[in-house]
């Protein structure tokens, strides 16, 4: 922690500044609200016949305790807050006693002879699956309430501490870690910012915070030890800083910066319906990266012309069982209908690596990033793969779908993946089930090997999308989840720029479109270089879309090409970065170049 020398009202609570990773841009101020949302593990145990009644009684007692705790929260709220939050708690009480929560859990204990915790977990998963398939926002938002209530009952069963209070509106949430469900729930409770000890820019919660436009700083290591409930905090998601117990001067400065930033973002959004087009008429498609269906409205509000990367694996990370074909179908259909007439690019499962799931028992891999992940896992677990493909194919008639395979290393693997797709198509045809026979099938280029054979790959697929997160990891040999080598992460490294150029040229020579969907695509500082390299599509977090669009609309293709050529003629990442930064800061206001957060 960096004390900044200012002392607050007394020496007991000095002003301090902590620096982490700006995970979601924007500024906010509010009183700290500490939450302990560390995930509790769900134990699984088979029980004997004579234990059944006792297990049901434990479940009933946990329901009663949960109800009582929520009553206490309600009493507190009615003294303090308005109606809004009262309703949320009442909704939680209804869920708690709902027959869909209670009956299946009791039945599982009785029939499957499992402990209450496990029975409850299965019930919660089942309810969430049903909610996922519903196309109205209202119901899908209830998904996080189900999680919240399920977690409360589980904690009561386990005797783990349950936070009884709801954050007051306007609070800054301080936590060791937050699950995506917590993030969604706390967003509904009108939290204004998130700060956490752990986490990275690409964590699921960070991605959601960006989608909800809640400023967030993660990876602060021990912020929970330095902040007390009620301490005033200023969260600067642009710079990745948190000011603890700020001075009046700092508060005044924050207010000015926050107002400036809000006005700036509002102004930027005015370009929502304008094309991402340079002044000399070059057109780039700006797409959104999406992980959860909840993000689709935000993508459209920010002017996305479609989804360039739907990370389907995120839908199933918290589950104990395999998703069924029908679930894949319903999910994809929902997304396509909401997005119509824009296209949605569904990437098939990219599991393994740092995305571990209980149902794909991978064992302990010494090198998970180089292990049995992504398309390799799918080609080994063909049934799992085909189930997803069948579901997606069936949904393809409900909108404009594109299908994308991740982690393809070469033509052999692409053909193998297409073979499974072909099998799925043949099955559906035999069964008389409709699907889009012209469904575009593309691949992610995220391995140096794929770059080198991009010309061959481009001849056998309909589009290419450069995944820079992994491409940089593999090309520069830097584990993307290891913060000790993050100083080596240089998207403008000459090797990376040459690779992107090579893929673009190879794709265009074969007559296919080439996009980019790694984090690099949403960085305004790189906008001109990427345009100059010839990319047709850029897919990014929704909030970055108006920013990147402004960059593109403020230039000519010629200017962008010249910048890219100059960059390609240089020898080191540092020289290129300095040159790009200098050029960009002459052309654009600093506020625009830093609007998506610090340069990664």
**Which is nearer to ligand PEP, 349 or 588 (by Cβ)?**
349
Cβ(428)–Cβ(393) under 8 Å? yes
The crossing angle, in degrees rounded to 10, of helices 52-80 and 137-158 is 120
SS3 letters across 461-517: CCEEEECHHHHHHHHCCCCCCCHHHHHHCCCCCHHHHHHHHHHHHHHHHCCCEEEEC
Cβ(29)–Cβ(233) under 8 Å? yes
Report the nearest approach of ligand PEP to the CB of residue 468 (Å).
5
| 345 part of the interface to ligand PEP, by CB under 6 A | no
Q: Which two tokens stand for residue 59?
A: 């479940």
Q: Which two tokens stand for residue 355?
A: 């995305």
Between vectors from CA 456 to CA 455 and to CA 457, what angle results, nearest 5°? 95
Q: How far is 574 from 383, CA to CA, in rounded Å? A: 47
| 120 part of the interface to ligand PEP, by CB under 6 A | no
518 contact choice in ligand PEP, Mg ion, none (CB below 5 to 8 Å, kind-dependent): ligand PEP
| 151 part of the interface to Mg ion, by CB under 5 A | no
Which residue in 77, 206, 309, 458 binds ligand PEP (CB under 6 A)? Answer: 309
Where are the strands (E) in 321-367, listed by range? 343-347
Name the DSSP letter for residue 13: S
Residue range at the interface with Mg ion (CB under 5 A); choices 53-61, 162-170, 438-446, 458-466: 438-446
Catalytic residue among 92, 187, 204, 302: 204
Residues 6+ apart with CB under 8 A from 243: 15, 16, 17, 233, 234, 236, 250, 254
| 312 part of the interface to ligand PEP, by CB under 6 A | no
**Which is nearer to ligand PEP, 149 or 218 (by Cβ)?**
218
Residue range at the interface with Mg ion (CB under 5 A); choices 108-116, 352-360, 470-478, 526-534: 470-478
Residue range at the interface with Mg ion (CB under 5 A); choices 426-434, 446-454, 531-539, 588-596: 446-454
Nearest to 459, CA basis, from 406, 514, 512, 416: 512
Tell me the CA distances in angstroms from 408 to 183, 269, 414, one per residue in order. Answer: 33, 36, 6
**Which is nearer to ligand PEP, 278 or 473 (by Cβ)?**
473
| 467 part of the interface to Mg ion, by CB under 5 A | yes
Is 517 tagged catalytic? yes
Which residue in 213, 231, 318, 446 binds ligand PEP (CB under 6 A)? Answer: 446
Which residue in 20, 150, 219, 467 binds ligand PEP (CB under 6 A)? Answer: 467
| 469 part of the interface to ligand PEP, by CB under 6 A | yes
**Which is nearer to ligand PEP, 93 or 469 (by Cβ)?**
469
| 519 part of the interface to Mg ion, by CB under 5 A | no
492 contact choice in Mg ion, ligand PEP, none (CB below 5 to 8 Å, kind-dependent): none
Report the nearest approach of ligand PEP to the CB of residue 488 (Å).
16
Residues 6+ apart with CB under 8 A from 484: none
151 contact choice in ligand PEP, Mg ion, none (CB below 5 to 8 Å, kind-dependent): none
| 517 part of the interface to ligand PEP, by CB under 6 A | yes
| 470 part of the interface to Mg ion, by CB under 5 A | yes
Q: Which two tokens stand for residue 312?
A: 């389907």
Query: What element of type H or E holds 244?
Result: strand 241-244
Is 261 tagged catalytic? no
Is the link from the previous residue into 545 a cis peptide, with omega within 30 of 0? no
**Which is nearer to Mg ion, 93 or 469 (by Cβ)?**
469
Cβ(27)–Cβ(234) under 8 Å? yes
**Which is nearer to Mg ion, 470 or 519 (by Cβ)?**
470
Beta-carbon count within 10 A of 357 CB: 18
| 147 part of the interface to Mg ion, by CB under 5 A | no
| 518 part of the interface to ligand PEP, by CB under 6 A | yes
Q: Which two tokens stand for residue 385?
A: 């793969």
Cβ(143)–Cβ(169) under 8 Å? no
Residue range at the interface with ligand PEP (CB under 6 A); choices 17-25, 143-151, 261-269, 462-470: 462-470
Q: Which residues are catalytic?
A: 204, 517
Binding residues for ligand PEP (CB under 6 A): 309, 311, 350, 446, 467-470, 517-518
Binding residues for Mg ion (CB under 5 A): 446, 467, 470
């Amino acid at each position: 922690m960096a004390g900044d020398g200012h002392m607050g009202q007394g020496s007991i609570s000095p002003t301090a500044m902590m620096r982490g990773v700006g995970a979601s841009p924007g500024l906010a101020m509010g009183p700290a609200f500490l939450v302990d949302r560390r995930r509790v593990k769900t134990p699984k145990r088979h029980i004997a016949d004579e234990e059944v009644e006792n297990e049901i009684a434990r479940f009933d007692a946990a329901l009663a305790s949960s109800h009582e705790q929520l009553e206490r929260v309600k009493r507190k709220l009615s003294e303090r807050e308005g109606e809004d939050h009262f309703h949320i708690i009442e909704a939680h009480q209804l869920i708690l006693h709902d027959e869909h929560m209670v009956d299946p859990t009791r039945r599982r204990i009785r029939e499957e002879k499992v402990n209450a915790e496990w029975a409850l977990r299965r019930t919660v998963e089942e309810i969430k699956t049903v909610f996922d398939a519903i196309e109205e926002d209202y119901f899908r938002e209830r998904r996080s309430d189900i999680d919240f209530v399920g977690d409360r009952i589980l904690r009561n069963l386990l005797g783990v501490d349950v936070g009884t209070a709801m954050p007051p509106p306007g609070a800054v949430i301080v936590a060791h870690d937050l699950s995506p469900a917590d993030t969604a729930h706390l967003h509904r409770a009108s939290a204004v910012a998130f700060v956490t000890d752990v986490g990275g820019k690409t964590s699921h919660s960070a991605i959601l915070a960006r989608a909800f436009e809640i400023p967030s700083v993660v990876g602060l290591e021990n912020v929970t030890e330095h902040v007390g409930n009620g301490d005033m905090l200023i969260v600067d998601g642009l710079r990745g800083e948190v000011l603890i117990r700020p001075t009046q001067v700092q508060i005044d400065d924050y207010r000015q910066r926050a107002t400036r930033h809000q006005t700036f973002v509002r102004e930027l959004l005015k370009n929502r319906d304008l094309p991402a087009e340079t002044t000399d008429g070059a057109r780039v498609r700006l797409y959104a990266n999406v992980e959860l269906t909840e993000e689709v409205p935000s993508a459209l509000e920010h002017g996305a012309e479609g989804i360039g990367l739907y990370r389907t694996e995120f839908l199933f990370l918290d589950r104990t069982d395999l998703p069924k074909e029908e679930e894949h179908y319903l999910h994809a259909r929902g997304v396509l209908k909401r997005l119509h007439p824009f296209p949605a690019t569904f990437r098939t499962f990219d599991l393994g690596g740092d995305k571990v799931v209980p149902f794909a028992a991978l064992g302990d891999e010494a090198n998970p990033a180089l292990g049995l992940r992504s398309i390799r896992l799918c080609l080994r677990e063909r049934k799992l793969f085909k189930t997803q493909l069948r579901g997606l194919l069936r949904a393809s008639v409900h909108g404009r779908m594109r299908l994308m395979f991740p982690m393809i290393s070469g033509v052999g693997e692409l053909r193998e993946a297409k073979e499974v797709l072909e099998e799925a198509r043949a099955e559906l045809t035999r069964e008389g089930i409709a699907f889009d026979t012209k469904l575009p099938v593309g691949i992610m280029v995220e391995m140096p090997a794929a770059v080198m054979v991009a010309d061959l790959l481009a001849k056998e697929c309909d589009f290419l999308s450069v995944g820079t997160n992994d491409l940089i990891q593999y090309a520069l040999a830097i584990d993307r989840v290891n913060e000790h080598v993050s100083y080596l992460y240089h998207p403008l490294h000459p090797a990376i720029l040459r690779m992107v150029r090579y893929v673009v040229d190879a794709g265009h020579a074969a007559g296919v479109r080439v996009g980019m969907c790694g984090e690099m695509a949403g960085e305004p500082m790189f906008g001109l270089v990427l345009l100059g390299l010839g990319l047709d599509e850029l897919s990014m977090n929704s909030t970055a879309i108006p920013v990147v669009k402004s960059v593109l609309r403020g230039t000519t293709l010629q200017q962008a090409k010249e910048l890219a050529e100059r960059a390609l003629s240089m020898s080191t990442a540092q020289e290129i970065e300095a040159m790009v930064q200098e050029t960009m800061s002459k052309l654009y206001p600093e506020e625009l170049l830093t609007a998506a957060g610090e340069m990664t």
